[in-house]
Structure 1
Amino acid sequence: MRQAVIGSILAGFLVSLAPAAVLAGPIDRACNSSPRKQKSPALCACIQAVADQSLTRREQRQAARFFRDPHRAQEMRQSSSADNKRFWLRYRAFGAQAEQRCS
């Protein structure tokens, strides 16, 4: 029991010392590294919070690539793949939620 308590305290301490970039999700990291002038750490964190609620981790990584290569989003949108179509619908819903909550 004592070891479990010490372990949880130590884990909490280590998390508090970890740099924010390590704890940030893929959307947050991509947003903060994008060249867009409108970005801010608070905005990127908000968008990541919405992504955490609406996209899987895999989908978040896929969406983060759009920040580096916007043309990839266009290719995904026009794809005839059923998987890509499902992703695109979820991505659009995520975008609408992020716009509503984070603006």
Structure 2
Amino acid sequence: MTLSLLALTAACGAGVNGRVAKACVDADRSAASTRLCSCVQRVADQSLNASDQALAVKFFEDPQLAQDTRQSDNTSNEAFWLRYRAFANSASRQCG
């Protein structure tokens, strides 16, 4: 799930706005798509608050952080992961 969302969001292109979209651009993937990245950002805006988006963006820089967050026993991380997973599923359905 995490890797598929990272791959999906990492395919974003230039000319987009938002934290998640900018992380896509910064990931500099060859399959960049402005349409896809903008779509994923719209879903992020609908699904995740600003602090959730900030944490999700960190996954681009540190994929291990995503794994650590997912496996964490911290209740805050567990709650975030449920929101993030719902976001990932929505983004896959709406943008994939």
Q: TM-score range by the shorter chain?
A: 0.7 to 0.9
Q: What is the root-mean-square deviation in Å for CA atoms of aligned residues? A: 1.3
TM-score (norm 1): 0.74
% identical aligned pairs:
45
State the structure with bigger RCO (CA 8 A, min sep 6), 1 or 2. Answer: 2
What CA distance in whole angstroms lies between the structure 1 residues aligned with 2:32 and 2:62?
A: 17
Which of these residues, 67, 77, 80, is aligned with residue 74 of structure 1? Answer: 67
Count of residue pairs brought into register by the alignment:
82
Cα distance in 1 for partners of 2:70, 2:48 equals: 17
From 49, 54, 61, the equivalent of 1:61 is 54
Give TM-score scaled by structure 2 length: 0.79
1:46 pairs with 36, 39, 42, which one?
A: 39
Identify, as 1 or 2, the structure richer in helix. 1
Point out where structure 1 has 5 or more consecutive residues left out of the alignment: 1-19
Report the structure number with the largest CA radius of gyration. Answer: 1
